[in-house]
């Protein structure tokens, strides 16, 4: 079972990896599970459709895709 990351887990992971989003490049770390689920649904993927994810950041969207049964490359 896949567990989406919350704000606390995202902050802890970012701190442990010593990374932070660069605002001038428009980077953000998605930390709300409902937002992640909405993004995945908005992609309108077919059941089991694979996704190539470029620049996965801390993996929030990756986990959301996996939660819905989409293999991520």
Secondary structure, 3-state, 15-73: HHHCCCCCHHHCCCCCCCHHHHHHHHHHCCCCCCCCECCCCCCCCHHHHHHHHCCCCEC
Confirm whether 1 is domain-assigned. Answer: no
Q: How many domains does the chain have?
A: 1
pLDDT digits (tens, 9 = 90+) for 35-45: 999 999 999 99
Confirm whether 72 is domain-assigned. Answer: no
Confirm whether 47 is domain-assigned. Answer: yes
Supply the range of the domain harboring residue 17. 7-67
Confirm whether 46 is domain-assigned. Answer: yes
Contact in structure between 11 and 30 (CB atoms under 8 Å): no
Confidence of residue 55 (pLDDT cuts 50, 70, 90): confident
pTM to 2 decimal places = 0.86
Confirm whether 14 is domain-assigned. Answer: yes
């Amino acid at each position: 079972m896949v567990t989406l990351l919350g704000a606390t887990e995202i902050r802890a992971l970012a701190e442990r990896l010593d990374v932070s989003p660069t605002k001038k490049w428009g980077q953000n770390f998605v930390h709300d599970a409902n937002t992640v689920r909405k993004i995945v649904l908005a992609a309108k993927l077919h059941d089991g459709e694979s996704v190539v994810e470029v620049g996965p950041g801390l993996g929030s969207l990756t986990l959301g895709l996996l939660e819905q049964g989409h293999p991520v490359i």
